Amino acid sequence: MVDTDRITGAARELGGKAQSTLGDLAGDRRAQVEGRFREAQGQAEHFAGEARDTLRDAADTAIDYAEDAYEQGRRAARHSASTVSHYVEETPLLALLVAGAVGYGLALLVHGRR
């Protein structure tokens, strides 16, 4: 997607070049200066449009990476939950003992030894 500043900047730059060239040919100092000023404005506008396009592309790329990371995280969480469910079904007593030990450890962390 091209920013409109790039298009209008290029048009203004071209118009400024034409005006300054005509001023050079006619010897009109005012037309030369105005033309060069318009040309500089057009260049600045064009560069601003390029900067916006670059930032927009970078933001789109960052969003794509974030969406991919989110999807990979979802898949990993789903796989982990499936794996834990499988182990709990296979060895329920061991799963109960591990859950109890984790609960006891958390209680010690939260309340400390008294």
Whole-angstrom Cα distance, residue 72 to residue 89? Answer: 26
Ramachandran class of 95: left when φ > 0, alpha when ψ lies in -120 to 50, beta otherwise? alpha
Predicted structure pTM score: 0.55
pLDDT greater than 90 at residue 9:
no
pLDDT on residue 114: 62
pLDDT greater than 80 at residue 75:
yes
Q: What is the pLDDT of residues 92-112, one digit of tens each?
A: 999 999 999 999 999 999 987
pLDDT on residue 2: 63
- Kindly give, in sequence order, each residue whose CB lies less than 8 Å from that of residue 48, ignoring residues fewer than 6 positions away: 3, 5, 9
Contacts from 95-99 at CB under 8 Å and sequence distance 24+? none
Q: Under a CB-based contact definition with an 8 Å cutoff, are residues 41 and 16 in contact?
A: yes
Percent of residues, the chain, with pLDDT higher than 90: 46
Q: What is the pLDDT of residues 30-44, one digit of tens each?
A: 888 898 898 898 889
